[in-house]
Amino acid sequence: MEACNNHGKEVLAVPVMVPDHFYAESSPFAHFKTPSVDIIRYQHGESELVNEVVLNKSLLLFINRGTKRLRVSGEEESLTCAEGVFVPKGSYVMTEVAASQRFNGFESLMVLIDDHFLEDFLQGYRPPLSLLESGQNVAGTEPGAWVRFEKTPFLDSSIVSLQVFFDHPEQVNRMFLEEKVREILRYLLTTVRSHRLFNILKFASGGGRNARLHQFLESHYMEPWTVERFAENFGLSVSTFKRECCNTLGMSPKRWINKRRLDSAKQKLLCSDAPLTQIAFELGFSDGSHFSTAFRKEFNCSPSSYRKNRPGRLLAQLNADTLVPT
β-partners of residue 69 are 78, 96
The whole-number average pLDDT for the span 31-46 is 83
pLDDT tens digit sequence for 258-299? 998 998 898 888 778 899 999 999 999 989 999 999 999 999
Q: Would residue 49 be called left, alpha or beta, if left means φ above 0 and alpha means ψ between -120 and 50 degrees?
A: beta
Which of 262 and 127 is assigned the larger pLDDT? 262
Contact 280, 290 (CB under 8 A): yes
Lowest pLDDT segment from 4-13, 104-113, 140-149, 216-225? 4-13
pTM score, whole prediction: 0.64
Which of 132 and 264 is assigned the larger pLDDT? 264
Per-residue pLDDT, 17: 34
2-205: CATH topology is Jelly Rolls (2.60.120)
The whole-number average pLDDT for the span 174-200 is 87
Gap between the Cα atoms of 289 and 276, Å rounded: 9
Per-residue pLDDT, 91: 59
pLDDT tens digit sequence for 15-29? 333 333 333 333 445
Per-residue pLDDT, 28: 44
Per-residue pLDDT, 238: 92
Per-residue pLDDT, 323: 33
Quote the mean pLDDT of the chain: 75
Q: Decide if pLDDT at 54 tops 60.
A: yes
Write the class of the CATH domain 209-312.
mainly alpha
Dmax over CA atoms of the chain, in Å, equals 66
pLDDT tens digit sequence for 198-233? 888 877 776 555 667 877 888 899 999 999 999 999
Q: How confident is the model at residue 319 (pLDDT cuts 50, 70, 90)?
A: very low
Contact 69, 83 (CB under 8 A): no
Q: Could you tell me which of 112, 125, 88, 123 has the C-alpha nearest to residue 34?
A: 112
Q: How confident is the model at residue 185 (pLDDT cuts 50, 70, 90)?
A: very high
Q: Decide if pLDDT at 94 tops 80.
A: no
The whole-number average pLDDT for the span 230-237 is 91
Domain boundaries, the chain: 2-205, 209-312
